[in-house]
């Protein structure tokens, strides 16, 4: 049905004058993609697929559901502890997910990913619990190799959806592993409203725009928010720094920055802690309740009683596999044609956090997975139609 719709639309476009087409339809973006450097390669005798999805988070599984329902028999490589995560990605390390639509009482992250996987399987997705360790995007069909099979015959795919995600950078503090997702998080929007953080003192580590944004967001829930900045100034933009330093729940130690009238009886809390780093996460064995912090200038160490610690020191996109073959930004995120999931190589699409350094939410990842599936489906349909017409 969908294939017929593509055929109808393409015929309609041909019937219109060129000016009318350009005025009514968005520019086709395949011409902006890097040309394939070699001619066609033979299809693998081992396994050839119309679509291969690399990654098993919300983006990967959403793409799989759409493609499987379109009878394209997608193959999804969920990886075996790829990038340090179990199949399902970052959500497998979270506890309560309260902002994903359809679950009014919330749902555990691992349970949500189990449901994603079940739905993919229900519609016929072939899920392989192995990691793709090598890929060649220089010619179509694209060639790829599984881990420990790099010297064997490659498998091939007409199109590839990269949904490998990104992981939050960590500090490796003492106690970090014990209290990760038990008081420590790397996503204020995801976890800030969780009951253990409500009306409790919280801390954010970082000095850039992300830290300023996350700290300001947490003021909705925490009783007070501390910001630990390694340097003596913020790296954040002026507008974000001003917003942070003028918030009554995040008071800067500089009197001139405080927006309210001061009296001799008022004691200004020092809650933007300059030249300060965390050295240890402490708690009762179940939940975080204290940070050991150190002033890097004086060497002084002390306790900072908080119930929540949020890292805002950046994320690392899982693009090492194809970074040299796809256009990426300076941080390693895959660059896509605006408004699409199309990468710099025709037939390769990127969805989820691997190309999204701004929102990084399960729901936006799922949405981009849907986009990637529809765009891959359209490309396959158009190319199949072209073969028929030849």
Closest C-alpha among 178, 225, 180 to residue 201: 225
Is 187 noted as a catalytic residue in this protein?
yes
Which phi and psi (to 5°) does residue 101 adopt? -55, 145
Helix (H, G, I), strand (E, B) or coil at 314: coil
Catalytic residue among 96, 158, 191, 353: 191
Other beta carbons within 10 Å of 101: 8
State yes or no: is 370 an active-site residue: no
Q: List helix spans (H) across 36-175.
A: 58-69, 109-122
* 252 in active site: no
Choose the catalytic residue: 96, 136, 158, 187.
187
Among candidate residues 27, 96, 114, 190, the one labeled active-site is 190
Residue 317 vs residues 86, 162, 232, 247, 322: alpha-carbon distances, Å:
16, 11, 29, 32, 11
Residue 133: its H or E element = strand 132-136
Question: How far is 138 from 159, CA to CA, in rounded Å?
Answer: 12
Place of tokens 């090598």: 134
**How does DSSP assign 143-187, residue by residue?**
EEEETT-TTSPPEEEEEEEE---EEE-----BTHHHHBTTTEES-
Question: Angle at Cα 198 formed by Cα 193 and Cα 200, nearest 5°?
Answer: 135
- Residue 227: closest CA among 269, 188, 271: 271
Query: What residues act catalytically?
Result: 187, 190-191
């Amino acid at each position: 049905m969908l294939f017929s719709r593509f055929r109808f639309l393409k015929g309609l476009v041909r019937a219109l004058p060129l000016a009318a087409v350009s005025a009514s339809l968005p520019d086709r973006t395949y011409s902006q993609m890097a040309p394939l450097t070699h001619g066609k390669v033979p299809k693998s005798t081992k396994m050839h697929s119309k679509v291969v999805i690399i990654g098993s988070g919300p983006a990967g599984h959403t793409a799989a559901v759409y493609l499987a329902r379109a009878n394209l028999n997608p193959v999804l490589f969920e990886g075996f502890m790829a990038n340090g995560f179990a199949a399902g990605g970052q959500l497998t390390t979270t506890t309560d997910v309260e902002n994903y639509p359809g679950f009014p009482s919330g749902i555990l992250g691992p349970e949500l990913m189990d449901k994603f996987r079940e739905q993919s399987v229900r519609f016929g997705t072939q899920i392989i619990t192995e990691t793709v360790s090598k890929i060649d995007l220089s010619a179509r069909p694209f060639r790829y190799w599984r881990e420990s099979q790099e010297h064997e015959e490659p498998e091939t795919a007409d199109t590839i959806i990269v949904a490998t995600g990104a992981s939050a950078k960590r500090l490796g503090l003492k106690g970090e592993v014990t209290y990760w997702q038990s008081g420590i998080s790397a996503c204020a929007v995801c976890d800030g409203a969780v009951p253990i953080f409500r009306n409790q003192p919280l801390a954010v580590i970082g000095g850039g725009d992300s830290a300023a944004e996350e700290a300001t967001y947490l003021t909705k829930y925490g009783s007070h928010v501390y910001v630990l900045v390694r340097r003596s100034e913020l790296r954040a933009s002026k507008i974000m720094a001003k917003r942070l330093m003028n918030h009554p729940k995040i008071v800067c130690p500089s009197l001139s920055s405080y927006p309210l009238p001061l009296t001799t009886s008022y004691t200004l809390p020092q809650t933007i802690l300059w030249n300060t780093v965390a050295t240890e996460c402490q708690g009762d064995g179940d939940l975080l309740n204290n940070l050991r912090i150190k002033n890097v200038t004086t060497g002084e160490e002390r306790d900072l009683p908080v119930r929540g610690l949020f890292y805002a020191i950046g994320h690392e996109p899982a693009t090492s596999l194809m970074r040299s073959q796809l256009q990426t930004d300076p941080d390693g995120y895959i660059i896509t044609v605006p408004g699409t999931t199309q990468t710099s190589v025709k037939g390769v699409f990127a969805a989820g956090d691997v190309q999204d350094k701004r929102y990084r939410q399960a729901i936006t990842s799922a949405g981009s997975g849907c986009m990637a599936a529809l765009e891959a489906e359209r490309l396959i349909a158009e190319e199949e139609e072209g073969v028929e017409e030849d």
